[in-house]
Structure 1
Amino acid sequence: MRRRSDDGRATTHTPSASAGTEAAFTAADAGGNDLPRDNHAEPGTDKILFARPDLTTVWRQARDYIARYKLLRLTQSTAEDGIHRQTICNLWRIERHADNSVHTYAFDLRQGLWHETEALEEQLLIPLLNSDLDWYALIINRMLHTALNAAGYAELPDETDEDACIDCHYRDGRREQRRGGEYHGKNRGFVPREMMTDFLRRYYHERVLDRENMRGAMKALRKQFFAHIVEPELFSAIGVIDYRQHTVGRYLYYARRRDAVLKVAREHRNLLPLLPAIAPCHWGRDDLFSRKVWVNSAQGAAEAEEIDFAPSPTVSNAETDFLSYSCIRALASPGEWQWLRQASSLVVKAWIESGYNHRLITNLLQAGITGRIPVLALQTVLRRDNLFDCLGVDRRMQRLMSLFIAETKRQWQDRGYRFLRQWLYHQGPAEVQYRLDWLRAEGFAAGFPQKNSTWASLRHRSDEWHARLRTRKKKAEPERHWDSALPSIVIDGITFTPLTSNLALLHEGETMQHCVASYADLCQSNRYRVFTVCDADDKRSTLGITINERGDEARWDQHYGKCNTAVSARVKAAGKKLVTAYNRALLAAPASS
């Protein structure tokens, strides 16, 4: 390894070569394909593999690297002289020094030396908070590709058009090559792509790697990373930026910019999610989140100016791997910026997901909502810009936002956080959409929502409008009927009633707020049947079943409650029994379906 000693001089350390091959490697080779040691062919290893000398050389050199440098050793860690060090596959090394700075190194297999690099951010996309331990396969896969490339795989001749048509198969454990539908013997000349596939197959499919051992090593890798590399304060700040993307590579990316990230975390922690959209060279600025930068100086301008330090898409790959560049626009007023600065980091994330929609913030600010607002409600408003940004900055939309947030407050106070979360996920947006159907058709033009409007009054007006719409549809569309192989039936205390007309489907769709009416044509062609379902608690749902072309077999298709919410396991099980009963009815009287 090449690194700096305490006095600043460069020192070089080279991993010791293995005295021999590991038994697992040798056992994986067949027919004299033993791994050469120290680049000298052992007896029985001088034969040509794959019918190509160049592929033979790459194969044996790659396996030599793996054995000599012990590249299958997934993780090692040490702590000495104030330096915490973790080595992964003896190829990638991470060091955390006494000042909490992080340095990364890659091992050059050809030179046998360590070199400092920033490329590990791309190589080590290993999740840190995912319980799945099979991610070791990704690390091993990258290690094997690194060994192959160092052995000369990248310098092999390009494939010809004929080579690209080769399809390799394994029958009865033997490799056979197919070209144009004809099989050739296993010693027919390989192409580089096939050699690489066979090389990877030796490790993954011939028990060279013991899965349980590797899962244990993966667990140790994460444990060592947290013990030796992770700085808790920085890790916490990265979690605020995006807790869903905690990987080794992502941590290393922010660790290189540690001082700037921690500066923002200590001064404006809730604004940390904005960092990925700003060029890293600006993160340490004292005026990064100042009003003069984020508020448009030209009040009332039709188009706000772009923030002057928004990142350029032309920066290097290392700069852009974890960044999703969107053009951040300055806000229209100091009040909007003050609102955003005081918002929860979760609300800031939701605003980012809306595409930095400043109109939503303007409407929320001008709506004059007072008191504590559930963060979940603000997240829903910002993420559902298709619902809450259909008029731009407008007083009517501000009143709709106020009524929606007031309803979320009521749900929170009456039924608690858990119910509110489920309501916002399943029913809340559908409730807004239901009212918007009427508002867009008639309500907005008439000045609704008005000052004295309530959430319930909007629902009532929307109900009346939908009823009028159904009446018009009934007059415009002739009623169509079909039969059901089963009449109304009760299973486990749950009533299933067949819907046998297009108007019945239309009414069901309006009542349950889903798209079941669109299945009328399939029902009339005897390819689908719909049942309205009511359990003992008068809780309703809708069951759909498909019928094959012969009309003699039905299959469960879907079963949803209002607004396509999930049904209970008990109701779902009864629906499956209904399908079984329907199949018996089809067999008894197929013509009646």
Structure 2
Amino acid sequence: MVVCKMNRVLFGSKELTQYYRTMREKIFEYKLYRAYQLEENSQFISMTFFNFYRYKKNLKTGKISAYYFNLKSNKWCKARLNEAIYHFARFSSLPDLMPLKNHNMLMGMIDMMLPKLQKFVDYDKRYSTYDRLAWRMNRLGTSTVNKALQRLILKYAQLNNQLAGHSKYITKFIWQHFIDKSVFSYLIRIKGFTTYFYFSDYIYIHNHLEKVKRVEKEYLNLLPLLKHFPAKHWGDPNLFSFDYWTNECAIRELNRIAKIHIPGMTKKQWRWLKKQSPKFIAQWSGQELSGLVECGIQEKIPVCVKIFVMRSSDSFDTFGTQKMRIIRLFILHMLNVWQEQGFRALQHYLKNVATQVIDVADYWRAIGYRGGIPQSWERIVERSNAWHRQYLLEQQQAQDEEHQAQLALQWESPIMVWEEANVLVTALNNGKALFDEGQIMRHCIFSYAHRCAEGKYLAFSVIERDENQIEIARSTLGIYRDIHHTWEIEQHRGVCNGYISQKLMKIGKKFCQQLNLLSTSNH
């Protein structure tokens, strides 16, 4: 008997069969298997992906627009570029391109496209509950079907083994026809270079290019600060004025629109910040600047040192009223390294000095000003290292004393030795016995020493031997006394807290019963 393919049940359920066939039908109806189409004429250049997403560049104006195919109206709709907190902006209706890291670009588009097609199967009403209960009912969900649809699209798009190659070709097309190097340069100067560069960020900068150029003309080194404000404020001529950054009321208004918290500044601090290099400005995200501004050093300080001090502001805050003095000593030490050993040695030193600053801050929390402040950073570090060595020595000594005290603990066990069916149960009635058991079995039974000494816990070594008295299994039995003064098994574990045989489990329960019988008879 031949079964019609259309009547076959797929994925183990009729619901998923209907889901698959409806989605498959729409994929072929809208030709969503057409991976990409690159077009170029005298008026515009466009990239269309899966007949669902499109980027278009007007050659006359250079403006780039993004579109998505609206399944409800069967028309192309312009995608809206929305402001984002941690980025410039993102498209809500289509996936973002990453022209420097695009190996999974086409797969990402398929992943975002399939949920859009779910409107044809009425997913929210028919399948959301089905998916939620899938794992309980031990059945497949729509995610499995989507993977099959993904493979279907890749098959008809003829992309199965060539995704990386096609992605590289598309990336090359984007750089040749869509990206202007001068606009990209602005993006890098404002946001900083990263391989995770989004095409939407580039479009955002391009859309507000005139505002960016105005800021560049008036405040060249402050360009990186633009990333902390929505573009609608970039055209404000007072955005970087004294009044905005030093007036208390203006600061509150500035913080309302900014993506970071901007601290109140004195005019001296704002003048100092405006003179800093773009590299320093790019790293600043609202940190307190008084330590750098008020340190009183007239010599030129390398930018990398300023950035380190700024990033370590929380550690330097530990020094309280002596913060300025400590920062001054640190910077003078860095200048000495720079002058005597060179810039490369300074950079290497800064990579490893962060833990040193944290250690000094820990030392200061413990000792404080009563230890006095030496005249150099080297002497502070020496004192810090000496304090840490002494602290570790005292800590180790305390741990050794505690360890020895635990080893010396002893307690009584109602049953010292008990044997049943070639299984020997032996009481662990002192700290040394518990420690040895923990070492042999590689678990934490030694941590129960105090509970055992208090009479709230008992531990036993359980060894099973064969007829020739050769050990074949070993476990540790832990028994606690409940609120009714009855002994109950808390744990019965093998090596490394592993599982044990049913035989040893039964022996453990029987031994616990004997323990309770003995306790009852004694009472």
Shift of 1:192: 4.8
Determine the structure 2 residue equivalent to 1:410: 336
Q: How far does the alpha carbon of each residue in 1:223-265 deviate from its partner, in whole angstroms, 9 at most, with x for none?
A: 1222222122222222231423411233233333333234334
Q: Residue type matched to 2:80 in 1?
A: E
Secondary structure at the residue paired with 1:100? coil
Please give the secondary structure, in 2, of the residue aligned with 1:238: helix
Q: CA deviation at 1:129?
A: 2.5
Counterpart selection for 1:288 from 239, 244, 251: 239
SS in 1 for 2:91: helix
Residue of structure 1 equivalent to 2:516: none
| Aligned pairs, number | 400
What secondary structure sits across from 2:200 in the alignment? helix
Decide which of 126, 135, 138 is 2:97's aligned counterpart: 126
Identity %: 24
1:264 maps to 215
Native 8 Å contact 1:58 1:151 kept in 2:
no
Please give the per-residue CA displacement for 1:103-134, whole angstroms capped at 9, x wherever unaligned.
2211224544212121672433333323x623
SS of corresponding position for 2:66: strand
Following the alignment from structure 1 to structure 2, what is the Cα–Cα distance between the partners of residues 408 and 337?
Answer: 24
Relative to structure 1, the CA distance from residue 207 to residue 69 in structure 2 (aligned partners, 3 Å threshold; closer, same or farther) is closer
Are residue 390 (structure 1) and residue 358 (structure 2) matched?
no
Given that 1:367 and 1:398 are in contact with CA atoms closer than 8 Å, whether structure 2 keeps it comes out as yes
Which residue, 38, 42, 51 being the options, matches 1:77? 38
Consecutive unaligned residues of structure 2, counting only runs of 5 or more, are: 82-89, 405-433, 444-523
SS at match of 2:68: strand
Distance 1:481 1:195, change over 3 A: closer
Shift of 1:381: 1.5
Q: Does 1:376 align with 2:304?
A: yes
Paired residues of 2:233 and 2:239 also in contact (CA < 8 A)? yes
Q: Is the 8 A contact 1:75 1:220 kept in 2?
A: no
Give 1:291 deviation, angstroms: 1.4
Aligned to 2:418: none
Residues 333-357 of structure 1, C-alpha deviations (whole Å, 9 max, x = no match): 11211221222333224321xxx13
CA shift in 2, pair 1:433/1:196, >3 Å? closer
Amino acid paired to 2:112: R
Which position in structure 2 is the counterpart of 1:334? 267
Pair 1:527–1:105, CA change in 2 (3 A): farther
2:308–2:350 CA contact under 8 A, matched in 1: yes
Relative distance call for 1:433 and 1:310 in structure 2 (3 A) is closer
* Distance across 2 between alignment mates of 1:475 and 1:150: 69
Q: Do residues 430 (structure 1) and 398 (structure 2) align?
A: no
Shift, 1:367, TM fit = 0.4
Cα RMSD of the aligned pairs, angstroms, is 3.9
- 1:81 and 1:445 map into 2 onto residues whose CA distance is 78
Using the TM superposition, give the Cα deviation of residue 92 of structure 1 relative to its aligned residue in structure 2, in angstroms.
1.7
Change (3 A) 1:549 1:407: farther
**Cα distance in 1, alignment partners of residues 440 and 280 from structure 2:** 48
Partner of 1:494: none
Once the 2 structures are TM-superposed, how far is the Cα of residue 159 of structure 1 from its aligned partner?
A: 4.1
Counterparts of 1:270 and 1:210, CA distance in 2: 46
Partner amino acid, structure 2, of 1:59? Y
The one-letter amino acid paired with 1:129 is: L
Query: For the residues of structure 1 that align with 2:10 and 2:388, how far apart are their CA atoms?
Result: 75
Could you give the per-residue CA deviations for residues 373-430 of structure 1, whole angstroms, max 9, x where no partner exists? 22222222222222122245x4x212222222233333344444444334322x2012
TM alignment of 1:513-532, pairs within 5 A: none
Alignment match of 1:439 (pick from 361, 364, 381): 364
Task: Classify 1:135/1:294 alpha carbon distance in 2 versus 1 (closer, same or farther; 3 Å).
Answer: same
1:403 maps to a residue whose letter is: L
Residue 45 of structure 1 and its aligned partner are, at CA, apart by 4.8
Task: Check whether the contact 2:34–2:157 (CA below 8 A) recurs between aligned residues.
Answer: no
The residue that corresponds to 2:461 in the other structure is none
Q: Distance in 2 between matches of 1:290 and 1:459?
A: 41
CA distance in 2, matches of 1:548, 1:88: 63
Is 1:115 paired with 2:84?
A: no
- In 1, the alpha carbon distance for the partners of 2:77 and 2:131 equals 37
**Bigger Rg, which one:** 2
Q: What CA distance in whole angstroms lies between the structure 1 residues aligned with 2:357 and 2:256?
A: 36
Aligned twin of 2:277: 344
Quick one: structure 1 residues 413 and 72, their matched pair in 2 at CA, closer, same or farther if it must change by over 3 Å? Answer: farther
Partners of 1:257 and 1:525 in 2: how far apart? Answer: 70
Whole-angstrom distance in 2 between the partners of 1:436 and 1:253 = 43
| Paired residue secondary structure (1:243) | coil
**CA distance in structure 2 between the aligned counterparts of 1:527 and 1:220, rounded to whole angstroms:** 64
Aligned twin of 2:172: 223
| 2:204 corresponds to | 253
Aligned to 1:556: none
Give the deviation of 1:211 after TM superposition: 4.6
User: How far apart are residue 74 of structure 1 and its match?
Assistant: 3.7
Q: 1:550 Cα deviation (Å)?
A: 4.5
User: Match for residue 364 of structure 1?
Assistant: 292
- Give the 3-state SS of the residue equivalent to 1:179 in structure 2: coil
Aligned partner (choices 213, 219, 224) of residue 162 of structure 2: 213
Residue equivalent to 2:108: 138
Q: Are residues 477 and 192 of structure 1, via their aligned partners in 2, closer, same or farther at CA, if it must alter by over 3 Å?
A: closer
Q: How far, CA to CA, are the matches of 2:187 and 2:175 in structure 1?
A: 14
Deviations 1:282-312 (A, max 9, x none): 111111111121112x6xxxxx763424456
TM-score (norm 1): 0.58
Distance across 2 between alignment mates of 1:107 and 1:309? 39
Query: For the Cα contact (< 8 Å) 2:53–2:68, is it kept in 1?
Result: yes
Is 1:278–1:310's contact at 8 Å kept on the other side of the alignment? no
Determine helix, strand or coil for the equivalent of 1:423: helix
Equivalent-residue separation in structure 2 for 1:527 and 1:201 (angstroms)? 55
1:239 alignment partner in structure 2: 188
Structure 2: how far apart are the matches of 1:371 and 1:400? 17
Structure 2 CA distance for aligned equivalents of residues 478 and 309 of structure 1: 57
Q: Which amino acid aligns with 2:67?
A: Y
Query: 5 Å matches for 1:562-573?
Result: none
- SS of alignment partner, residue 220 of structure 1: helix
| Stretch moving more, 337-346 or 259-268 | 259-268
Partner SS state of residue 162, structure 2? helix
In 2 relative to 1, CA 269–224 (structure 1 residues): closer, same or farther, beyond 3 Å? Answer: farther
Preserved contact between residue 86 and residue 224 of structure 1 (Cα < 8 Å) = no
- 8 Å CA contact retained: 1:282, 1:309: no
Q: Secondary structure at the match of 1:462?
A: helix
1:405 partner amino acid: I
Pairing partner for 2:149 from 188, 199, 203 = 199
- Say if 1:234 and 1:262, in contact at 8 Å, map to a contact too: no
- Retained in 1: the 8 A contact 2:79–2:91? no
Letter in 2 for 1:283: W
2:134 to 160, 166, 177: 166
User: Counterparts in 2 of 1:146-165, with a 5 A limit?
Assistant: 146=116, 148-149=117-118, 151-154=120-123, 156-160=125-129, 164-165=132-133
Structure 1, unpaired ranges of 5+: 1-30, 33-43, 168-177, 184-189, 299-303, 313-323, 483-523, 529-546, 552-593
